[in-house]
Amino acid sequence: MVEYNSKKQTVYNRRQTMAAPESPHDELHDLARHLSASTNVRLPLSPVSPSDEVNRSARYLGTPTNVRQPLSSNSQIDLPFSDEYRSQERVPPAGVDVRRQFVSNRIGDSISNDSVTRRRLSIISENYYPIDDEDNQNEDNQTLIETDNDKRRRRILFVVEPILVGLILLPVIVLFWDCGWNLVWTLLNTINGYPLTINQEFYNYSFLSLFIPYSIVQILLLILYIGQEIFYNFLKEQNSIIRIILLKSHIFLLATIYIIQWEIVWLVWDQYTPRQWYFQLVLSIAAIFALIVFIGHLSDLVCAPFLVSYDSIEYCLHFGCPLLTRQMKQWKINVINYVLYEIIISNLSIVTWRSFYNFLDQHMYPDDLNKSALICLLIGFILYFPLMYFQNYLEYLNVKYEFWVFVSINFPQLYRNVRHVFAFLSCVFLWRGLWLLYDSYIVIFEFHYQTYLLLYFLSFFFLALIQTSSSINGPLSNMEDDNHFFPLYPNCYVSTVIRKFS
């Protein structure tokens, strides 16, 4: 009996030794396994039993396995039919922000009798693959061995893509918006009897001259939202030439609608709110907090050069929807999505952009526009390139350093929203710098509106020719980056072109 107990104790000790992590690196390895299970991140980890996974997750979260964890970002009440809620087929181009899990699930029901509520660990991209880390390959189907030429080509593409987008595509996109904006401004001045010359004066436009065009574009947007499935199915049945023509027409119409929408709302705030910088700054900060309350992240403030698109019916017709729904008709989902984005989020975004933009107009060398524009471009590019090139590195901080593990678990959107803020500031500086240069130096005809009209169509034609006219609006739904260069923003236009034409 004593010998039997001794053998039993030896086996038990051996099992305990095998189950215990051998080093702090193994503990971090185990946590990465838990993060992979929570967010569908494919990381090459050793097999772990379900019970070990629950115990280890509880250990890292500082709670025993039989105690439900408090959720700081989800309701602690068990929602009825929570397992039946599904995300939409197409989501907004917000990177991994749109792929997080909104409804908490119970992993204990399918693993063990102990119930542990899974936290929303959404801070790591589900498509994350480090560029140079050969250990982090797709476990399912990435078994092909990359040659040295393939690796070299991927590195070159990784370096070149942000440069091409920032230095070539962005100036054309801003030119289109600048000319379209000035055309709408010219039309409003004509209706209200104001001079057509460009100046820094603020005009008081009549209520009807602002309300009528805004109502028209909102009705058109609602039609595009409701009829997106019909238009998509119709284009799929057409031949390539008709499909391209109709797709470009849809993109051009939507771009014009958005320019009118933004300018009308911008002018309304200019006309009916105080212009003191402190009021506008407070208003902008309030709008940022409101965006966090509504959608949890600030990626909707970011545009080109961080977000660019490829002209395709897969990305440019469906308006991405972040909502989780259950047994709801598609037209109802589209209407709710329209209200969320085109009435709430768009107005909050315009307020934020306007406040920061006007603040720069008033305080960054208002008497020397050339100097102001060059400083804006310099600051914008200084922010842009590091934010693009270090996306993978910043994503990987979550499983590389203990501090960032703590932050990602307890504040899952904090440090990502910080990056969104810096990306937004980069966009404001870049757009303002280019905008000032265009308004100061581009003059072709004696009448300015003729110059705007010509460049409005020429810039769109150029972007349409290289298959990225949809970048004017940004991708309506999320684009998959097959190279996984940029996990936070779907900036994969150049990669998509090379893949389709190679």
Across the range 96-125, mean pLDDT stands at 40
Residues facing residue 117 across a β-bridge: 106
ω before 130 within 30° of 0 (cis)?
no
pLDDT tens string 215-272: 999 999 999 999 999 999 999 999 999 999 999 999 999 999 999 999 999 999 999 9
Lowest-pLDDT range of 85-99, 126-140, 272-286: 126-140
Cα separation, 299 vs 406, whole angstroms: 23
CB contact set of 262 (below 8 Å; sequence gap of 6+): 181, 346, 350
Residue 493 is predicted with a pLDDT of 87
Residue 66 is predicted with a pLDDT of 38
Residue 318 is predicted with a pLDDT of 87
Number of H helices, E strands in the chain: 19, 0
For 449-501, the DSSP string reads: HHHHHHHHHHHHHHHHHTT-GGGGT--SSPPP-TT-S-SSS---HHHHHHHHH
pLDDT of 295 higher than 60: yes
Mean pLDDT of the chain: 77
Q: How far is CA 121 from CA 39, 63, 124, 191, 448, in A?
A: 6, 16, 8, 53, 53
User: Are residues 98 and 91 in contact, defined by beta-carbon separation less than 8 angstroms?
Assistant: yes
Q: pLDDT higher for 405 or 425?
A: 425
Residue 338 is predicted with a pLDDT of 95
* 4-23 exposure pattern, b = at least 16 Cβ within 10 A, e = fewer: eeeeeeeeeeeeeeeeeeee
Cα separation, 433 vs 443, whole angstroms: 17
The band of 296, judged by pLDDT with boundaries at 50, 70 and 90, is confident
- In the chain, domain spans: 2-111, 148-501
pLDDT tens string 147-166: 778 888 888 999 999 999 99
Residue 98 is predicted with a pLDDT of 44
Q: At what angle do helices 369-389 and 414-441 cross, to 10 degrees?
A: 140
Q: Which tokens is 244 given?
A: 């391209």
The band of 125, judged by pLDDT with boundaries at 50, 70 and 90, is very low
Cα angle: 171, vertex 176, 181; to 5 degrees: 125
Lowest-pLDDT range of 73-87, 146-160, 363-377: 73-87
The band of 348, judged by pLDDT with boundaries at 50, 70 and 90, is very high
Across the range 199-204, mean pLDDT stands at 68
Beta strands in 358-466 (DSSP E): none
The band of 398, judged by pLDDT with boundaries at 50, 70 and 90, is low
